[in-house]
């Protein structure tokens, strides 16, 4: 007996016609797989529209009720899919997160899946039904519906695949994961297979094709992931453990816009408040990265770090309250080279820096991990750099 979890995003189920098309893809898959669980996102821009409505009525919408509201988006798509299947005479059942046994913990609007009690799903599968589960939601210990953070249906799908011992297939409106965003580079290549680690790095460094938490979860529970076009007829990208996959040094170039750079000067002699500053930012829930530190000959220190542009007001408020000497730079983006083979190769950094030099592109910050190098550049240089890197590394 084999089992699969198939997840479809909001754009794949945006209209009833699209729901019909997706139903066909599910039925085709059912021919080769005994038990199929489907996880759906809300139709099209439903979630965005709901948030907009809540904000029309309140400056600060109650998180509990916003979760209740948003959870209805997935209930609509899941119910419609089951209604359609039944109209075709196909046995199917739509389940909310609660009915599917998904228990959540943590704050509203960004809760996590704590556990899944899959008995109901298993029973329905055994009864021969296609089980359709609402993504993005669970129920917490107080009996309230919570949501898993934007894009959270990927996480629902992976978690279900983990407890059901199934493969997880994420269907979307692109043909898989590409070496470079095809909108920036026409001849970008589709990647056949990637490691979890590379995919996670890509998702964190800006690639929008899959939600990062779901990749981390897939790795933790060794759930095989597959990302493919929602028509089901084009070979997509497999994500699995690193075996002896043969590949290029660089597998992908990702980019992330709307990065804010904050530069803090601490003059020599004053007691350094850098630790306190980082702590206050953390207390304000500001996520920072690309931290760099320098000390000049006089002993003055310069610390800089990046955050999302959306945190600008908060960062400025925190640093102003501390009376720090700082400036912020906007209109930046982060361009990253990613590849796990980088780990065992010399000369990758030299080639990357060579590209920036030849292209005369200035960078503000550089950061590296074992499997990536990222540059912070002006947003108007972003595409030039992506293409130049793609040329250099043959992507
Ligand atoms: N509908 C939710 C959102 O738009 C969850 C998802 O699409 O995965 O964020
Ligand atoms: Mg969505």
Q: Whose CA is nearest to atom 5 of ligand 1?
A: 151
**pLDDT tens readout for residues 102-113:** 999 999 999 999
Instruction: Spell out the residues 6+ positions from residue 118 whose beta carbon is closer than 8 angstroms to its own.
Output: 100, 101, 160, 163, 164
Residue 212 lies in a domain: no
Q: What is the total count of domains within the chain?
A: 2
pLDDT confidence of residue 1: 76
pLDDT confidence of residue 209: 82
pLDDT confidence of residue 345: 87
pLDDT confidence of residue 270: 66
Domain final position from 173, 192, 221: 173
Task: Tell how far the Cα of 82 is from the centroid of ligand 2, in angstroms.
Answer: 19
| Residue pair 260/309 in contact by the 8 Å Cβ criterion | yes
Ligand 1 atom at shortest distance from the alpha carbon of 74 = 1
Residue 325: domain span: 253-392
Q: Distance between CA atoms of 97 and 72, rounded to whole angstroms? A: 11
Q: Distance between CA atoms of 212 and 87, rounded to whole angstroms? A: 36
Ligand whose nearest atom lies closest to the CA of 47: 1
Query: In DSSP terms, which residues pair with 337 in a beta bridge?
Result: 253, 373
Q: Whose CA is nearest to atom 6 of ligand 1?
A: 151
Indicate the top mutation candidate among 76, 137, 153, 217 to test ligand 1's pocket, ranked by most ligand atoms within 8 A of CB. 153
Residue 351 lies in a domain: yes
pLDDT < 50 regions, the chain: none
Residues contacting ligand 1 via CB (< 6 Å):
9-10, 41-42, 47, 73, 135-136, 150-153
Task: Tell how far the Cα of 190 is from the centroid of ligand 2, in angstroms.
Answer: 23
Q: Distance between CA atoms of 336 and 127, rounded to whole angstroms? A: 48
Tokens 């990046």 appear where? 306
Helix (H, G, I), strand (E, B) or coil at 198: helix
Ligand 1 atom at shortest distance from the alpha carbon of 153 = 8
Q: What is the CATH number of the domain that holds 381?
A: 3.30.2130.10
Q: Distance between CA atoms of 96 and 98, rounded to whole angstroms? A: 5
Domain final position from 144, 173, 202: 173
Are residues 154 and 52 located together in one domain of the fold?
yes
Q: What is the CATH number of the domain that holds 20?
A: 3.40.1160.10
pLDDT confidence of residue 244: 56
Are residues 165 and 18 located together in one domain of the fold?
yes
**Rounded-to-5 percentages of helix, strand, coil across the chain:** 35, 30, 35
For the record, the structure tokens of 142 come out as: 């107080």
Ligand whose nearest atom lies closest to the CA of 170: 1
């Amino acid at each position: 007996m084999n089992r699969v979890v198939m997840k479809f995003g909001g754009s794949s189920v945006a209209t009833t016609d699209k729901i019909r098309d997706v139903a066909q893809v599910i039925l085709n898959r059912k021919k080769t797989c005994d038990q199929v669980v489907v996880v759906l996102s809300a139709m099209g821009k439903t979630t965005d529209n709901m948030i907009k409505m809540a904000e029309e009525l309140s400056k600060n919408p109650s998180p509990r009720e916003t979760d209740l509201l948003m959870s209805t988006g997935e209930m609509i798509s899941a119910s419609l899919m089951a209604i359609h299947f039944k109209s075709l005479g196909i046995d199917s059942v739509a389940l909310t997160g609660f009915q599917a046994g998904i228990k959540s913990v943590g704050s509203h609007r960004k809760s996590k899946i704590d556990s899944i009690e899959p008995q109901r799903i298993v029973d329905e599968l055994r009864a021969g039904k296609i089980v359709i589960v609402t993504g993005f939601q669970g129920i917490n210990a107080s009996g309230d519906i919570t949501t898993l953070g934007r894009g959270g249906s990927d996480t629902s799908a992976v978690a279900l695949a983990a407890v059901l011992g199934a493969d997880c297939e994420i269907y979307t409106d692109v043909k898989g994961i590409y070496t470079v965003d095809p909108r920036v580079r026409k001849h970008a290549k589709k990647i056949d297979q990637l490691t979890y680690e590379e995919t996670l790095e890509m998702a964190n460094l800006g690639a929008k094709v899959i939600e990062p938490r779901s990749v981390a979860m897939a790795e933790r529970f060794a759930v095989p992931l597959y990302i493919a076009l929602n028509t089901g007829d084009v070979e997509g990208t497999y994500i699995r453990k690193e075996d002896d996959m043969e590949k290029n040094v660089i597998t992908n170039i990702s980019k992330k816009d709307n990065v804010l750079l904050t530069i803090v000067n601490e003059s020599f002699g004053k007691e350094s408040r850098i630790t306190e500053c980082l702590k206050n930012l953390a207390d304000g829930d500001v996520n920072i990265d690309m931290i760099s530190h320098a000390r000049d000959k006089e002993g003055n220190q310069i610390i800089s770090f990046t955050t999302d542009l959306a945190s600008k007001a908060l960062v400025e408020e925190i640093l102003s309250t501390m009376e720090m000497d700082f400036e912020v730079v906007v209109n930046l983006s982060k361009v990253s080279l990613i590849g796990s083979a980088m780990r065992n190769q010399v000369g990758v950094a030299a080639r990357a820096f060579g590209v920036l030099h030849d292209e005369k592109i200035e960078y503000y910050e550089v950061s590296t991990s074992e499997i990536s190098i990222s540059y912070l550049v002006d947003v108007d240089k972003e595409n030039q750099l992506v293409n130049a890197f793609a040329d250099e590394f043959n992507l």
